[in-house]
């Protein structure tokens, strides 16, 4: 499979440079995560329709929109496309990297040119590490009980794979890289967390084979000297495909329940990395270059075919306050970053904070942050973690979220809004939200509405007791004791309620 050359004709992409007003009906039928929004996995993505609707109706052009738990960063571009300024904060380095990418996209021609250069530099060397009989290049190795059980090769013509049994030469080839230590990315930090299948004794050598790490290093070498906006896209292509390069790609056997799939008995199919660090005994080792190329082709189709607007992203919050830049993105504990922002400078805080113990974002992002070259400040993360050694209990979580809310109330303008995406299974995790009015003295709960997802996630579908929806809980900063009539653009949202939501 070659890289898909960009077409000369204008291609459509998710983020059009012009935006039509968002309607309440749009929030009831959000688009699926395709194009740029679907390029990279991230847990807890929110449909852009609800984000854009709130931005359009709760702010004016030139106002500052802030997300202190930035996550995938999709809100950053939604805000800037509507001529608002933006502040994004996240303790996860990946979040800042991905958001910066969204605000400074390369054209598909720039990206395509870089891919061809990288292919010329490293593809042959990588493929040599997967050479099997008759100098053919393997695409997949099926592993069972710590041994290669089968080798797949792509045919020169047609679609049906060729399956062969491994020879002694295949084992020798693999063993060449068994002691490999990566040069360009660090070891991984894990805790005792059975929920995501990790323990402190695990290392990067458990997640990747030595051969995969060697080849990831070759790609990192090849992309190191590109201009920042191109390098960032190339790096994120690597992190986006790293799950399929790992030992976490499970084999699907006998799908369909009767041992047959499309009339083929005992057919084995390739699964994909979903969430956590489960290392299945039967799994695939996939050709690293093929993984990278496949993900790169998806991004090629989503990138603009012309130089899109590059937004000014500052490392200095004063520049956005003075209207000298479009965005301030900072990798930090949000409480620390908020203390540096002047009082009453933000019009809308729209955020999806950690929902108690639902998703341990930093722990799950550890593989990506290693490849990106970042160290992580686990100690400062606001979260409830099943890893007891992290000391991240629900009572500490409630205290830290209250601290966050007090700082947020300080930077919010009078009559500014907070739109909080939230849900949790237990009463204790809701506690800080129920007390926030009395604690802050200025934030007033005005209503909420259930958020419709474009599709349920694998976690929502499969996890026992998993919740199926979130609420958007809206507060307004006001010193008035009596409620004011709410604007129609809020009350006409489907299932809008003036009553605080009950836990599921």
Domain residue spans in the chain?
24-93+311-491, 108-302
Q: Which helix (H) or strand (E) holds 475?
A: strand 470-477
Q: What is the pLDDT of residue 139?
A: 98
Which residues share a beta bridge with 2?
none
Q: What is the pLDDT of residue 43?
A: 82
- Distance from C-alpha of 293 to C-alpha of 128, rounded to nearest angstrom: 16
- Distance from C-alpha of 503 to C-alpha of 446, rounded to nearest angstrom: 18
What pTM did the predictor assign? 0.92
Q: What is the pLDDT of residue 319?
A: 79
Q: How far is CA 303 from CA 31, 38, 114, 297, 329, in A?
A: 18, 12, 14, 10, 22
- Distance from C-alpha of 241 to C-alpha of 354, rounded to nearest angstrom: 25
Closest CA to 385 of 396, 369, 370, 401: 396
- Summarize pLDDT for 44-85 with one digit per residue, the tens: 788 899 999 999 999 999 999 999 999 999 999 999 999 999
Q: What is the pLDDT of residue 8?
A: 62
Q: What is the pLDDT of residue 10?
A: 42
- Summarize pLDDT for 254-284 with one digit per residue, the tens: 765 555 545 555 689 999 888 899 999 999 9
Q: β-strands 443-451, 283-286: how paired?
A: unpaired
Q: What is the pLDDT of residue 156?
A: 84
- Answer whether 435's CB lies under 8 Å from 465's CB: no
CA dihedral (109, 110, 115, 121) positive or negative? positive
Q: What is the DSSP letter of 306?
A: S
Closest CA to 382 of 410, 408, 404, 364: 404
Please classify residue 206 by burial: count the beta carbons closer than 10 Å to its beta carbon, then call 0-12 exposed, 13-18 middle and 19+ buried.
Answer: middle
- Summarize pLDDT for 198-253 with one digit per residue, the tens: 999 999 999 999 999 999 999 999 999 999 999 999 999 999 999 999 999 999 98
Q: State which residues of the chain have pLDDT below 70.
A: 1, 8-18, 255-266, 454-468, 481-484, 503-504
- Distance from C-alpha of 161 to C-alpha of 156, rounded to nearest angstrom: 10
Fold held by 24-93+311-491:
Rossmann fold (3.40.50)
Q: Which residue has the tokens 């790169």?
A: 296
Q: What is the pLDDT of residue 358?
A: 76
Q: What is the pLDDT of residue 91?
A: 97
- Distance from C-alpha of 355 to C-alpha of 488, rounded to nearest angstrom: 29
């Amino acid at each position: 499979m070659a890289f898909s050359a960009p077409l000369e004709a204008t291609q459509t992409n998710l983020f059009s440079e012009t935006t039509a007003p968002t309607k309440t009906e749009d929030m009831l039928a959000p688009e699926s995560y395709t194009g740029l929004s679907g390029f990279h996995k991230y847990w807890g993505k929110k449909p852009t329709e609800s984000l854009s609707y709130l931005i359009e109706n709760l702010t004016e052009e030139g106002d500052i929109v802030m997300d202190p738990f930035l996550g995938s960063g999709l809100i950053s571009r939604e805000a800037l496309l509507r001529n608002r300024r933006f502040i994004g904060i996240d303790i996860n380095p990946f979040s800042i990297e991905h958001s910066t990418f969204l605000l400074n996209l390369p054209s598909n021609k720039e990206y395509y040119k870089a891919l061809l250069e990288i292919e010329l530099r490293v593809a042959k060397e990588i493929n040599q590490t997967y050479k099997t009989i008759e100098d053919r290049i393997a695409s997949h190795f099926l592993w069972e009980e710590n041994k290669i059980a089968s080798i797949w090769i792509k045919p020169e013509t047609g679609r049906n794979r060729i399956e062969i049994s491994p020879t002694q030469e295949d084992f020798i080839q693999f063993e060449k890289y068994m002691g490999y230590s990566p040069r360009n990315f660090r070891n991984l930090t894990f805790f005792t967390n059975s929920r995501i299948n990790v323990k402190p004794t695990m290392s990067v050598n458990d997640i990747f084979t030595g051969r995969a790490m060697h080849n990831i290093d070759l790609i990192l070498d090849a992309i190191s000297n590109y201009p920042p906006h191109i390098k960032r896209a190339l790096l994120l292509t690597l992190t986006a495909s790293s799950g399929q390069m790992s030992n976490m790609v499970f084999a699907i056997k006998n799908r369909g329940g009767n041992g047959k799939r499309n009339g083929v008995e005992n057919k084995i199919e390739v699964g994909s990395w979903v969430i956590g660090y489960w290392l299945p005994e039967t799994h695939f080792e996939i050709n690293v270059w093929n993984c990278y190329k496949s993900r790169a082709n998806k991004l090629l189709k989503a990138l603009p075919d012309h130089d899109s607007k590059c937004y000014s992203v500052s490392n200095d919050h004063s520049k956005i306050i003075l209207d000298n830049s479009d965005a301030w993105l900072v990798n930090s504990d949000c409480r620390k970053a908020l203390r540096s922002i002047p009082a009453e400078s933000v019009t809308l805080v729209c955020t999806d904070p950690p929902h108690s113990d639902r998703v341990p974002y930093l722990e799950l992002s550890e593989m990506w942050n290693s490849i990106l070259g970042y160290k992580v400040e686990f100690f400062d993360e606001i979260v409830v973690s099943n890893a007891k050694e992290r000391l991240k209990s629900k009572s500490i979580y409630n205290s830290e979220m209250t601290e966050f809310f007090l700082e947020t109330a300080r930077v919010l303008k009078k009559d500014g809004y907070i739109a909080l995406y939230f849900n949790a299974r237990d009463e204790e995790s809701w506690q800080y939200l129920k007390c926030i009015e009395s604690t802050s003295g200025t934030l007033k709960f005005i209503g909420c509405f259930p958020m419709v997802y474009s599709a349920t996630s694998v976690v929502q579908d499969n996890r026992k007791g998993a919740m199926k929806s979130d609420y958007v809980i809206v507060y307004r900063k006001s010193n008035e004791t009596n409620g004011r009539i709410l604007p129609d653009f809020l009350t006409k949202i489907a299932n809008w309620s003036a009553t605080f939501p009950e836990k599921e």
